[in-house]
Amino acid sequence: MITYRWDKPNFLHIIYTGVITGDELIQSALDIAGEQQFDNAHFVLGDWSHYTHSSIDEEGVKALVSIMKSVCKICPQVRNAVVIRADKSGNALPSFYKMLGDILPWKIEIFNHFKDAYNWLDQPYPVDIEVLEDFIDESVKRYNKPYIPRYKAHYSEGARQ
């Protein structure tokens, strides 16, 4: 599932949870890019720390980068921080996105912790995320499985925050 929310008028937070398919990734990119608010985006935080599996192939990532090439003409000033799991499992896809994304005018960096991502974005670090990160770390240690949050907005439901 891919959900997103606007934490500020120019700050988009995209959350990837559970199983992510190539079609879902491409459709969500088209939906988000189609929003008028996206024209003024300066910061995008892609949170891959909660997804469990992806069925996206290389062609799906290339399609996403093709979409992003068009989007970058509208808002070339974006800084895109990607947060991946610290345990390094299943992080090839976000890393591949960053590699292909290097041809874009966006600045894209990958991080293992939200705090580092927010520092790089030069944005204040939300306290609620710090509490959530601590909870997730404990949950993973205790139950040896990833924590999957529930978010209000989901692109396919048309709900927007």
**Whether pLDDT at 4 is above 60:** yes
pLDDT digit string (tens) for 88-129? 666 777 777 777 777 888 899 999 889 999 999 999 887 666
Output the pTM of the full model.
0.75
Yes or no: say if 80 and 117 are a contact pair by the CB < 8 Å rule.
no
User: What strand order describes the sheet that includes 107-111?
Assistant: 2-8, 11-21, 43-55, 79-83, 107-111
Candidates 109, 89, 111; CA nearest to 99 is 109
For residue 137, pLDDT beyond 80: no
Per the model's pLDDT, the better-predicted residue between 141 and 119 turns out to be 119
Kindly tell me if the per-residue pLDDT of 154 is higher than 50: no
Candidates 126, 129, 84; CA nearest to 109 is 84
All structural domains of the chain with their residue ranges: 2-156
Is 2-156 in CATH node 3.40.50.150?
no
Res 138: pLDDT: 61
- In this predicted model, what pLDDT tens digit does every residue of 41-99 receive, in sequence order? 999 999 988 888 888 787 887 888 788 888 888 889 999 999 988 776 667 777 777 77
Cα dihedral across residues 133, 9, 98, 151: positive or negative: positive
Q: Which residues are within 8 A (CB) of 43 and not within 5 positions of it... i.e. 6 or more apart?
A: 8, 10, 11, 12, 78, 79, 80, 81, 121, 123
Longest C-alpha distance within the chain, in Å? 45
